[in-house]
Amino acid sequence: MSERPIQFYFRGSLHTVQGPAPTRTVLQYLREDLRQTGTKEGCAEGDCGACTVVIGELAGAPGQEELQLRAVNACIQFLPSLDGKALFTVEDLASGPDAPHPVQQALILHHGSQCGFCTPGFAMSLFALYENRPDCPTRDAIDHTLSGNLCRCTGYRPIVDAAREAYALPRTLLDRAPVIAALKQMAGLPSLDYVAEGRRSHSPRSLAELAALRERLPDARLVAGGTDVGLWVTKQGRTLDEIILIGHVPELKRIQVGAGRLEIGAGVTLSDAFAALTGFEPQWAELARRFASTPVKNAGTLGGNVANGSPIGDSMPGLIALGCEIVLQKGSQPRSLALEDFYLDYQKTDLQPGEFVRALVLDAPAPGLTRHFRSYKVAKRLDQDISAVAAGLAVHLDDEGLIRRARLAFGGMAATPRRAAACEAAMLGRPWTPDTVRLGMAALREDFAPFSDVRATRSYRLSVAANLLQRFWLETSGGGGAPVRLDQLHPIQPGSQP
Amino acid sequence: MNAPHARTVQHGPQVGRPLPHESAALHVSGAARYIDDLPELAGTLHAAPGLSTCARGRITRLDLDAVRALPGVRCVLTAADIPGSNNCGPILHDDPVIAASEVQFYGQVIFVVAAETRDIARAAVRLARVEYATDPAHPPILDMDSAIAAESWVLPPFTLTRGPVDEAFARAPHHLHGHARVGGQEHFYLEGQISYAQPREDHSLHLICSTQHPTEMQQMVSHVLGWRSHQVSVECRRMGGAFGGKESQSAQWACLAALLAARTGRPVKLRLDRDDDMVATGKRHPFQYRWESAFDATGLLLGLRLEMASDCGFSADLSGPVNDRAICHIDNAYYLDAVALRSLRCKTHRVSNTAFRGFGGPQGMFVIETVLDDIARHLGLDPLAVRTRNFYATEPGPRSTTHYAMPVEDNVAPALVAELAADCDYAARRAAMAAFNAHSPVLKRGLALTPLKFGISFNATHYNQAGALVHVYTDGTVLVSHGGTEMGQGLYTKVRQIVAHEFGLPVEDVRLSSTDTSRVANTSATAASSGTDLNGKAAQAACQNIKARLAALVAELAGCDPAQVEFAEGQVRAPGFSSGFAALVMRAYQARIQLWDAGFYRTPKIHFDPITKLGRPFFYFAYGAACSEVAIDTLTGETRVLRVDVLHDAGQSINPALDIGQIEGGFIQGMGWLTSEELWWRPDGPQAGRLMSHAPSTYKIPTASDVPEVFRMKLYANANREDSIHRSKAVGEPPFMLALSVFQAIRDAVAAALPAGRPLQLDAPATPEAVLRALGALDEPTP
């Protein structure tokens, strides 16, 4: 590890930064230091997308590296997180003064801007989509791409149309070769130890290096995607004197699948983690769709969501329901524990000084039993909202249809994500029937005494938690054939069968 | 390929073309400059306000020593430092720029800091030590019920009675009573409040401000500084959204920046952090209603008694006119024969609520739609049939005058609604939906078609005026200034089309300058949907003055009548005469003919008595209708809007693409107000009155996935019968209220899930929790 400036690929060449504090955001640096003002600040908390930029990284095995382009929120990314990467902003899109990018042309043609303040952010999200998908995506995929971009003027329809229109225009792709060459060149840099304004950030480039640093600096703040810690700085005005960025540790970015086991490194982004989870157990799909926004999922990590230990973290109920183990490491010593045992109290975990989260591990269902699993999220808005209630529900049935194992975990109901012990006990050994579900629903009231807050009242949380159990039964038992999920419905067609 | 950057000039009539927004190419490339993007003047300081942490109390200690001591801080001001009047209230003087000692809401400005960087200013603010004295006998008033009980008003209650109400109730065969609430709404303009004050020589100041009302900024800043208007100029090129939130409430931030600039002699930029913006600026007024209705067996409304209360917050701001507009829209498209209305303007210890697209109109219409829906459900009739039954007459007569005494002369609601109902297959879908609901216990569908009639003009007659300044340069290009501001609605684009149309030029030859009080004076707010109506006419008038001089020159040269001179296709033609526009202009210059001029417009026919609230406040009405189909999940209360069909009357559209954009955008914004957008304040405890939905993480405006799968917009062919600019109709606000169909459709779906005969009580916003509560699924009453 050596003290050196931050380096990244920007505007066609390698760009070096020395001077701004390590917690200066990419957005501040762009707008205030470089006076590149195309990228806007709308909220400074990663929720509106006006600051969307695209980050380029190498992905794939050595020798077969590909350029991966992903939209992230510049407003909550610290500058050192760019080290060794490529940064693209709205100013990079046009290939000449009179040659806008297809997504820009399409936005103009479809009247996709009114006040125009959010537009550069939309253009960047659409640019990432356009680069990553060869064919025009579905409406749902476009919506998902835009889940982190707010527009208050247009009502979105013209922007969605523009996303499609871009594919009808002559295809214009980024020249990737020079970017890849630059990224490969930077791959050989030593680990970054960046010091400015009396503050320091470390970006270890191996697990061993991280482990040693962590032991030496137990009080330094670990930062993975920065989608929460970023707000400590932009919103709470906190100063972080020493941070350790884990985003450059290759061992933490691994996903290992095999022998009925899935291991997700703590540095794996939520986007990649949910793809892996959904591959492992398709019932993650609903949560994967609703969890945060695309730019937040591209930056944030599953390990960060879990380590943060928020009572409203959306991934934990599902992980707990599936019996997830969390792997911690101190020095060279790993230890594992059941994820539900990791959470001790409100924002208090079992993480010891000098220890860090290394991975999350899921095992395939035990043979001989039939497992039903669902992961639900209920919030005021479909996309990018914080849950009022989240639920991860798993029951294992034997050949006679009796419940042999039940792991029913909820978020938003207590100081930590937690299993519903009374509810599980009430259902265990009974058949998977409406009567048993009713018993479970009644018992849930003994398990939780949630708060009322900005997201929902206590009463709503209690009712919905119980109702989700009912939905779980309806979805896994047929429930008489009538639709039970809003996403199954389309506008009614008179004359067709209801 | 239709590359927008390729400069393919299109001749011919410029009005009626679906041109892109004049800044579209700049928007998509990030090159459109907003105030924070402008190069900063050397020495610029950055400001941040200090906000109160108490909803009602007296400041007993304001220790700012640590704030001043932070390196980089250059100036800290409190109320005592204000040289002029400490007020930014637009009508009443009840709105301090900086609270002196009495704190009236959680988040009120109590001091302001300027520092070398914005980060330093924000860090300094946190170092203040503030203590408050609170009176347990006088806790903060945080809801309308408490305000009504305490008779706490920002303005006195107002009553309006039309017709023999008691008699109507006595004679009516059916009666119902009801109550409802509708929440407020955060504007969530993407560009937050920002002002950049630049001191100039000899006690003058230029302010670049994201504002809908430059003239009011100019006046407010001069009052606060103790100056006169000619010392202050205010400029705005574009706003990153406004929606009413930058009408009166951009003033406070402009005043603070100006105070700091005047004190330090340095340029000062004040850009609010998003959270501060949401906490410290007003919102749409929450309303609550109690009513009694009297009606016959066909659903015809015979009498209505209505108490309509609004939460104005701690000061009057624009609450008077907002409530007046609400009063003028409780009829929506319906004739109210006998009505007794009581309008309450509650003073609470919350941020002062303000203008927001619709300006009270949505809240007025909200209640009548619910009143009629209840009647339909009570009688077992189709709600659309009851709505139709109550429409104003289309011919002059007793059923075509509003409760505020204005004749409705342009009523197209019946025809428009019939056209939409047929187009969207309303009846067949309603039947199919009933069949679906009968076999779907968990998910229920709902459908509703609601009409819209919205009055166009400021209720306050004197605001209905505008000026413009048009320069024709000797190369034939044109620069236009007017008093309207561009907030994304496309005003500049439409005025550009209007001016190009007048001169027969392609739009590329016409450019709009920023709006600046030093170019056009005494401007009205760009509000009340009136931007194009007023400024378009003023710009047209200026063009016509110049054209008249050019025509006189041509007439002299060609020996014809000036009336025979035509401006078209970049040419000026008369019998036996033809010249390019630019060549003629040069010739006119050499003949010493004035090539620039001002234009002025005042809306005709209108008058309104602010005391009785009677008159003809509106030049005309805009109409529309929407049919919304929704589904609700009875397990979680979540809703989804599946299909929306809109037919809207924009008159003879000047730019159909921009008008469709206003309709769609307004609709989705209205849908947000009525569904996911919920403001939530701490109800009690030491932080009582603190807004907790103060950021996009906790306040949820719609996203792309909330847009219905089927979303059909159509313009209704209907030239304005009044002489508006090119017979168009204002389109900024009206479509917002089309979203009432979404709320009524959710009611319809809730009704399908309720046991027959059970009353339907749903408050807005229809959040998942509100829906579940309406379904009777929660065991605790409304908190």
The pLDDT tens digits for B373-394 are: 999 999 999 999 999 999 999 9
pLDDT of residue A63: 84
**Is B261 in the same domain as B292?**
no
Do residues A142 and A225 both lie within one domain?
A: no
Domain stops at, among B602, B637, B653: B602
Helices and strands, counts by H and E, chain B: 20, 29
Establish if A22 touches chain B: CB-CB under 8 angstroms: no
Alpha helices in B597-655 (DSSP H): none
Tens of pLDDT along A322-347?
Answer: 999 999 999 999 999 999 999 999 98
Residue B203 located in a structural domain: yes
For the segment A106-165, what is each residue's pLDDT rounded down to a tens digit?
999 999 999 999 999 999 999 999 999 999 999 999 999 999 999 999 999 999 999 999
CB-CB neighbors (< 8 A) of A289 in chain B: none
Distance from CA of A156 to the nearest CA of B (A): 5
Contact list, B777 vs chain A (CB under 8 Å): 463, 467
Question: What's the gap in Å between the CA of A443 and the closest CA on chain B?
Answer: 16
Residues B524, B554, single domain; the answer is yes
Residues of chain A in contact with residue B439, where contact means CB-CB under 8 angstroms, are 482, 498
Chains A & B: contacts with CB separation below 8 Å:
335
Query: The sheet that has A2-3: what strands, in order across it?
Result: A2-3, A192-196, A199-203, A242-245, A221-223
Residue A496, pLDDT score: 66
CB contact under 8 Å between B769 and A457, yes or no, is: yes
Answer whether residue A131 is part of any domain.
Answer: yes
Q: Would you call B34 and A40 a contact, using CB atoms and an 8 Å cutoff?
A: yes
Whether residue B642 and residue A491 make contact (CB cut-off 8 A), yes or no, is yes
Instruction: State whether B31 and A483 contact (CB < 8 Å).
Output: no
User: From CA B183, how far away is CA B281, in angstroms rounded?
Assistant: 16
Lowest-pLDDT choice from A363-377, B57-71, B410-424, B509-523 = A363-377
**Interface test with chain A among B636, B677, B699, B712, by most A beta carbons within 10 Å:** B636
CA distance B779 to A442: 13
Q: Which of B525, B466, B457, B456 is nearest to B248 (CA)?
A: B525
Q: End of a domain among B271, B306, B337? A: B271
Q: What is the mean pLDDT of residues B242-262?
A: 98
Whether the predicted pLDDT of B453 surpasses 60: yes
Is B661 a residue whose pLDDT tops 60? yes
pLDDT above 60 (res B754): yes
Asked, for residue B170, whether it belongs to a domain, the answer is no
If asked whether residues A79 and A218 sit together in one domain, one would say yes
Residue B23 included in any domain: no
Q: Are residues B526 and B659 in the same domain?
A: no
Is residue B129 pLDDT above 60, yes or no?
yes
Interchain contact, A143 vs B704, CB within 8 Å: yes
Residues 118-157 of A with CB under 8 A from B: 118-120, 123, 139-140, 142-144, 146-147, 149-157
Q: Are A233 and A260 found together in one domain?
A: no
Per-residue pLDDT of B350-371, as tens digits, reads: 999 999 999 999 999 999 999 9
- The answer to whether residues A319 and A362 touch, using CB atoms and an 8 Å cutoff, is yes
Nearest Cα residue to A248 out of A296, A192, A304, A302? A192
Instruction: Give the one of B439, B640, B772 whose C-beta lies nearest to A482's C-beta.
Output: B439
B468 pLDDT higher than 70: yes
| Predicted local distance difference test score (pLDDT) of residue A479 | 65
User: How many angstroms away from the CA of A477 is the closest CA of chain B?
Assistant: 14
Grade residue B7 by pLDDT with cuts at 50, 70 and 90: very low
d(CA B513, CA B496): 11
Report the alpha-carbon distance of residue B663 to residue B658 in Å, rounded. 9
CB contact under 8 A, A31 and B665: no
Q: How far is B721 from chain A, CA to nearest CA, in Å? A: 29
CATH number at A131 reads 1.10.150.120
A44 chain-B contacts, CB cut-off 8 A: 273-274
Q: What angle do CA B312, B305, B669 make, to 5 degrees?
A: 45
Instruction: Flag whether B38 is in a domain.
Output: no
Contacts of A484 in chain B (CB under 8 A): 442-443, 635
pLDDT of residue B778: 87
Cβ-Cβ contacts under 8 Å, A166 against chain B: none
**Which residues are bridge partners to B628 per DSSP?**
B448, B644
- Using a CB-CB distance cutoff of 8 angstroms, which residues of chain A are in contact with residue B702? 155-156, 381
Residue A80 lies in a domain: yes
A195 burial via Cβ count (<10 Å: 0-12, 13-18, 19+): middle
Same domain, B579 and B651: no
> What pLDDT is attached to residue A497?
52
> pLDDT-based confidence at B5, cuts 50/70/90?
very low
Summary mean pLDDT of chain A: 96
B390 in the same domain as B242: no
- A319 plus A461 within the same structural domain: no
Domain count for chain A, please give it.
4
Domain range holding B221? 44-136+193-271
Work out the average pLDDT over B747-775: 96
Coil/strand/helix, residue B518: coil
Helices (H), B510-592: 531, 537-558, 581-590
Question: Chain A, 237-256: which have a CB under 8 Å from a chain B CB?
Answer: 237
| Among B697, B699, B626, residue whose Cα is nearest residue B666 | B626
Give percent of chain A with pLDDT exceeding 70.
99
Q: Give the pLDDT mean for B612-616.
A: 94
B274 vs A contacts (CB less than 8 Å) = 42-45, 48
**DSSP for residue B721:** S
Give the end of a domain, one of A168, A194, A225. Answer: A168
| pLDDT at position B582 over 90 | yes
CA distance to partner chain A, nearest, from residue B31 (Å) = 6
Assess whether A73 and A184 both reside in one domain: yes
Choosing from B602, B636, B665, the residue where a domain stops is B602
Domain boundaries, position A269: 250-363
Asked whether the beta carbons of residue A498 and residue B440 sit closer than 8 angstroms, the reply is yes
Q: Is A455 on the interface with B (CB under 8 A)?
A: yes
What are the tokens at A480? 């008489």
Residue A498 pLDDT grade (very low, low, confident, very high; cuts 50, 70, 90): very low
User: Which residues in chain B are contacts of A462 at CB distance < 8 A?
Assistant: 779
Mean pLDDT, to the nearest integer, of B83-112? 97
Evaluate whether residue A490 is within a structural domain. Answer: no
Q: Could you tell me if B508 and B618 lie in one domain?
A: no
Q: What count of other Cβ atoms lies within 10 Å of the Cβ of residue B17?
A: 17
Question: How far apart are alpha carbons B203 and B222 in whole angstroms?
Answer: 11
The CATH number covering residue A21 comes to 3.10.20.30
Interchain proximity B432–A152, CB inside 8 Å: no
Same structural domain, B82 and B198? yes
Q: What is the mean pLDDT of residues B284-300?
A: 98
- Domain check: are B685 and B703 in the same one? yes
Helices B361-379, B319-327: crossing angle, 10 deg rounding = 30
Q: Report if residue B54 sits inside a domain.
A: yes
Q: Do A387 and A429 sit in the same domain of this protein?
A: yes
A84 within domain boundaries:
yes
Residue A325 domain-assigned? yes
Of the residues A245, A274, A302, which one is the last residue of a structural domain?
Answer: A245
C-beta atoms of B30 and A144 within 8 A: no
ipTM score of complex: 0.97
A486 belongs to a structural domain: no
Could A157 and B431 be called an inter-chain contact, meaning their C-beta atoms sit closer than 8 Å?
no
Which CATH number does the domain housing residue A423 bear?
Answer: 3.30.390.50
Q: At residue B782, does pLDDT exceed 70?
A: no
Is A383 within 8 Å of chain B by CB? yes
CATH of the domain at B128: 3.90.1170.50
Residue B25 domain flag:
no
Q: Transcribe A25-49 into DSSP letters.
A: BHHHIIIIIS--TTS--SSSSSSS-
Question: Do B487 and B621 share a domain, yes or no?
Answer: no
The answer to whether residue A116 neighbours chain B at the CB level (below 8 Å) is yes
User: Residue B6's pLDDT is what?
Assistant: 38
The shortest C-alpha distance from B533 to chain A (Å) reads 19
Res B313 pLDDT > 90: yes
pLDDT in the model for residue A3: 93
What residue type is B639 in one-letter code? T
| Residue A87: its H or E element | strand A86-88
- What's the rounded Cα separation, in Å, for the pair B441 and B752? 10
Catalytic residues of B: 733
| Residue B332 and residue B310 share a domain | yes
If asked whether residues A124 and A12 sit together in one domain, one would say no
Cβ contact A150–B703 (<8 Å): yes
Total domains in chain B come to 3
Q: Buried b / exposed e across B420-459, counting CB within 10 Å, b at 16+?
A: bbeebbbeebbebbeebbeebebbbbbbbbbbbbbbbbbb
Judge whether A98 is closer than 8 Å to chain B, CB to CB: yes
CATH code where residue A325 lies: 3.30.465.10
**Who's near A221: CB < 8 A, 6+ residues apart?**
A229, A240, A242, A243, A244
CB-based contact A41 B36, cutoff 8 Å: yes
Question: Residue A366: which pLDDT band, with cuts at 50, 70 and 90?
Answer: confident
A303 & A222 share domain: no
User: Is B189–A151 a contact, with Cβ atoms under 8 angstroms apart?
Assistant: no
* One domain for residues B351 and B434: yes
Is residue A75 assigned to a domain? yes
Residues A207 and A278 in one domain: no
Distance (Å) from the C-alpha of residue A291 to the closest C-alpha of chain B?
13
* Pick among A34, A142, A171, A381 to test the B interface (most B CBs inside 10 A): A381
* pLDDT value of residue B8: 57
Within a domain: A496: no
Domain boundary among the residues A153, A168, A183 is at A168
CB B241 within 8 Å of CB B275: no
As a whole number, the mean pLDDT across chain B is 96
The answer on A314 and A463 residing in a single domain is: no
Closest Cα in chain B, distance from residue A371 (Å): 23
Compute how many other C-beta atoms are within 10 angstroms of the C-beta atom of residue A131.
19
* Contact residues, chain B, for A41 at CB < 8 Å: 36
Q: Chain B neighbours among A 456-485 (CB < 8 Å)? A: 456-460, 462-464, 467-468, 470-471, 474, 479-480, 482-485
Nearest to B703 among A146, A386, A480 (CB): A146
pLDDT digits (tens, 9 = 90+) for A229-272: 999 999 999 999 999 999 999 999 999 998 899 999 999 999 99
Residue count (chain B): 783
Residue B2 has pLDDT above 50, yes or no: no
Is the pLDDT assigned to residue B461 strictly greater than 60? yes
CB contact under 8 A, B25 and A116: no
Q: State whether A378 and A476 are in the same domain.
A: yes
Domain with B595 in it: what CATH number? 3.30.365.10
The alpha carbon of residue B242 is apart from the nearest alpha carbon of chain A, in Å, by 9
Burial of residue B28 (CB within 10 Å: 0-12, 13-18, 19+) is buried
A469 shares a domain with A452: yes
Say yes or no for a CB contact (<8 Å) between A150 and B3: no
